[in-house]
Every structure is written in structure tokens, then in C-alpha cells.
Amino acid sequence: MFACSRRFGSAGLGKTAILIRSAGGIERGFVVQVCRACEDPPCAAVCPTDALKLRSGGGVLLEAARCIGCRLCVDACTVDAVLWDDESDKPMICVHCGLCVQACPYGVLELSKGG
């Protein structure tokens, strides 16, 4: 999460596109919420302004200028992978750069096709 924010030039958690939360209490372990790069992404399908363009290799790219901040994409993503940037009032869209993978000291995350 911090690695992701750093990529966007900031510290803190305001700009993360990946979220780790407990699965209902720390004792139950953790859940990673992150974009799985759909080939047929529902988030793009619901966008009224076509701000989410299909990305080659799966997932979507945000064309910020078109986005009106309606949050439909947030609801559309089945795995809750569209997070929100309060500062710009636009979605945080995962760009699949893999910085989070490099930052994890325990090899929990992996950047791969399929799966």
C-alpha cells in the first residue's frame, strides 16, 4: 500500500490502489484487495464517460480528464479493487507495475498472467 502511494509521488495511504485488510479480525488472517486485470472488465463497462480504457494485457487505464467521479466503477468491480483518491475525487486504478510485489519481504504477492 505504501509502495503504491510512493509510485504516485506521495507518502501515506491516500494514493494506494491495493488494500490489505483483515478477514474480520487479525486472528483470521488477511485479505488482499487488488485488481486482477480482467479481460472483460465490468468497471469499464459501466463507466458512463468511457474514462476507463481497456489495457492490453487486461485491466483498465484511467483517462482522468474524462472521469466525472461518479463511483459507478467502484460498485461494478466484483472484487472491490477500485479504491478511491479523495484528493482528486477519482478512482485509484491499479497499473500493474509490480512495485508492491518488490516491496513484500515475504513473497505473498506475485505479478502474473492468469490465475
Partner 1 sequence: MVCWNSLKVVELVEGDPIKNVLYVDLTRRRYWIEERNDLFQKYIGGSGVAIKLLLEECRRGVDPLSPENPIVFAVGPLNCVFPMASKTVAMFKSPLTGNLGESHAGGRSGIALRSAGLGALVIRGASDTPIYLSIYDGKASFRDARVLWGMRSSYTVGRVIREREPKAGLRTIMRIGRAGERMVRYACVITETYRHFGRLGLGAVFGSKKLKALAIAGTNNIKVKDIKAYKELYQEIFKSEITAPALKKYHDIGTPMNVMPLNKLQALPAYNLKSASLDGAEQISGENLARNYLGRRVACGHCPVSCIHLAALREPYEKEPYFYKTTMISYDYEPIYALGSMLGITSPEGLLKLIDEVEVAGLDAMSCGVALAWATEAVEKSVVSSGPDGTIVNLRWGDYNAYIKAVEYIVEQPNEFYKALAHGVEYAATKYGGLEYALTFGGNEMPGYHTGPAAHIGYLTGARHSHLDSAGYSLDQKILASKGEPTPTSVANTLFEEEAWRQILSSLVVCFFAREIYKPEVVQKALKVVGWDLSLEDMKKIGYEILALKHEFKRREGFKADALRIPKRILETPTPFGRLDEAFIRDAVKEYFARLPRSTNQP
**Beta-ladder partners of 47:** none
- Report the distance separating Cα 73 and Cα 75, nearest Å: 5
Distance, CA of 63 to CA of 106 (rounded, Å): 34
91 binds ligand SF4 (CB under 6 A): yes
Grid coordinates belonging to 69: 467521479
In the bound state with partner 1, the residue whose beta carbon lies nearer, of 3 and 54, is 3
Residue 101 within binding range of partner 1, rule CB under 8 A:
no
- Of 77-96, binders to partner 1 (CB under 8 A) are 84-87
| Binding partner at 19 among partner 1, ligand SF4, none, C-beta below 5 to 8 Å by kind | partner 1
